[in-house]
Amino acid sequence: MSISSHIQNLSYDATLSAPIVMVMVISLLVLILFILIQLTHRKVDRTKQKNKKLCKVLDQVLKMGEYSVVKYDVRHDLVVNSQGNLLPASGLTKQQFIERIHPDTREKAKVKIAQLLNGKDLEISASTFWNRGTEEHPEWIYIQGQAVSETDNKGRVRYLIASVKDLTKDRAEEHKKEELINKFIQMYDSLLVPMSFYDKNGRLIDLNKEMKKLCGFGTNSGAEEFYYNTCIFDLDIFTNDYDFMSGEVFNVCQHMSYSNHHVDKYIEYKIQPVLNKQGKIIYYTFTARDITEERKMYISLKEHNAQLQQANKRINDFEQQLQYLLKNSNMYVFRTDNIKQQIQFSYSLRKTEYSVSYEEYVNLMYENDRKVALDLINDPERLHKAFNVIHHFRTTPINDAPSWYIISAVALHNSKGEFIGHFGVVRDITELLETQERLKIERERADFSGRQKSAFLANMTHEIRTPLNAIVGFSDLMQLIDDPVDRDEFIRIILNNCDMLLRLIDDILAGSDIHNTHLSIETKDVDFAVVFNDICQTLAQRVQEPGVEFVKENPYEHFLTHIDKGRIQQVCTNFVTNAVKYTHQGHIKLGYRYENNGLYIYCEDTGAGIPKDKQEAVFERFVKLNDVVQGTGLGLNICKTIAEQCNGKIGVNSEGIGHGSTFWIWIPCEQMG
């Protein structure tokens, strides 16, 4: 086949297939168009449904927001509800709608509606009172509306559409808030307490009248500008004392001094931070109180109190001096009350120590003095005069023993000249009247003391025998001892007894003076267990009776304390010496122990014993229960003095004659180890 034939065949085939292709294309286009139409319908349906939902939502929103939508049909002159029930269901004409607007804003509303209808304004906003009721029963509500105009194709206004919100409740609430705020402002401004508010940055917001007065507003030039332009955070009176960011309440009294504004006052402040719900400071409240005058009054009162205290002190000093003089001269101030028939006694003019009736007073006297006292009380002429009398009393409120008193008094009268009683002093002259008797007794005691001193000097050698024997005995033994340790021990014992002998001689010589009762106490750190063994070693030589055993009780190996070992040795020597004198069978036991924070030393014997009525007397000077027994009667008295000088105690326990006795002494000390 030729090429031309082939081309002819192809042209023929193309001519046959062209209609078919055209039909297929048209069918495809129809199908696509159908699909597009279906999709468009579906989209329109969805849009309608969406619009319905949006309208429903809009309707709910309008209801929730108390909005109404009204529509004015210009052609039909009818205003109807599009949303809500602001208007009657049948609608209103334009004139009827305007007549329901409050007269105060009606003309203004008519102008705005006319402007919308003429197309001059596309949108207007207005607020007014509107009558939702009738003329007979008006129901005014406050509404706020926004209206727009809708035109047709020719540009003529076809509809007016307005959204209206009922603000009656909001306006009422706002009115209440305004009233509340006004009341608060009035109350805040009329508070007698100065008060101010500052923002969170420390700048002044407002202050009431009292605070303005306190800060000098209106009287001091520049004061107002100063406080409004000054940050409280920068004021010196607060910066060093209060952290404004702490959120804490702050109370302080400060000296507010601003010489430029003529302010010099003492102010009591209270700063109260106010926090929001998140706990952040939103502002500060300040309350203040001017205490300048109070401070002046306080200072004045303080000065007055100081003067009053000085006056009271002078009065008290005078009373103390008077009381001292009266007490030391055995005198009382007394006052009689003639109406109450009563006598009051005191050491001062303020306090009454004793009070008795006339009858009780007279009954306290001896018979011979009662008649003199009764004659004085019952004699009107003598009552009005000063008097001096001496009475002898069997007993008085302050003294059960017989007493002599001299009474001196002057008469007291009231403003009318009537006699009301006496005022004077009472002096105890018992001692004065008994002077001769006391002198006689003292002479006898002096004679007795002289005899006792003579006996004491005659028997003095007996008291120094113990240490002297120890000194002589150990001195003799020194020649026979070669061991250095033993020689040192003997030397220590000799020196110890020499010291005891010297102190004993000093005390004996001092004791020869009946008025001297002072002994020196020299305490040192000692091991009393060792000292006690030395004492017992010396005192054991004093017990020479064949039937008497000397017993030592030392409960400690070491007893470190702080005492005067020489005085303790002196006491032990006197205890054992007395026991040796009166014990002829049995034992003499010397011991000690630590009890009640002190050293308790005792000497127990099986000797003659001491009657209970004589046990206290044995510690007195020159007292001897048996004159046959050798001694001066001074040893136990020295022991008592030692106990007293050491703030200790001394005593004796005995069941009586034939039962032995136990002498003891307790001296306070501290066990150191």
**What is the SS3 assignment for 576-610?**
HHHHHHHCCCEEEEEEEEEECCEEEEEEEECCCCC
pLDDT higher than threshold 90 for residue 57: no
Flag the least confident range among 57-66, 89-98, 172-181, 501-510: 57-66
pLDDT higher than threshold 80 for residue 504: no
Mean pLDDT of the chain: 79
pLDDT (mean) for 117-135: 78
Helices and strands (H, E) in the chain, number of each type: 19, 23
Three-state DSSP string of 414-434: CCCCCEEEEEEEEEECHHHHC
pLDDT (mean) for 50-79: 67
CATH number of 65-172: 3.30.450.20
SS3 assignment, position 345:
strand
SS3 assignment, position 376:
helix
CATH number of 462-668: 3.30.565.10
**Alpha carbon of 89 to those of 79, 167, 468: distances in Å?**
10, 22, 146
pLDDT at 592: 94
* Residue 366 near residue 396 (C-beta atoms within 8 A): no
pLDDT at 461: 62
Cα separation, 391 vs 386, whole angstroms: 16
* DSSP E strands, 495-606: 524-527, 548-553, 560-563, 586-595, 598-605
Q: Give the dihedral sign, CA 560/563/568/570.
A: positive
Higher pLDDT, 569 or 175: 569
Cα separation, 645 vs 563, whole angstroms: 12
User: Looking at the whole model, is its pTM more than 0.85?
Assistant: no
Cα separation, 263 vs 87, whole angstroms: 66
Beta pairing partners, 283: 199, 274
Q: Which of 236, 248, 318 is nearest to 281 (CA)?
A: 248
pLDDT (mean) for 576-590: 89
pLDDT (mean) for 106-115: 84
DSSP class of 141: E
In the chain the first and final C-alpha atoms are separated, in Å, by: 151
* Tokens encoding 166: 């009922």
Cα separation, 498 vs 467, whole angstroms: 7
Cα separation, 161 vs 149, whole angstroms: 6
Across 21-58, b (16+ Cβ under 10 Å) vs e yields eeeeeeeeeeeeeeeeeeeeeeeeeeeeeeeeeeeeee
Question: Could you read off the pLDDT of 596-648 as tens digits, one per residue?
Answer: 999 999 999 998 888 888 878 788 766 555 543 444 566 788 888 888 889 99
For residue 232, give the amino acid letter: I
pLDDT higher than threshold 90 for residue 376: no
* Tokens encoding 265: 């006052």
Is domain 329-433 annotated with CATH 3.30.390.30?
no
pLDDT (mean) for 459-468: 66
Tell me the fold of 191-290.
Beta-Lactamase (3.30.450)
* Tokens encoding 415: 């403003």
DSSP class of 402: -
- Counting Cβ atoms within 10 Å, is residue 129 exposed (0-12), middle (13-18) or buried (19+)? middle
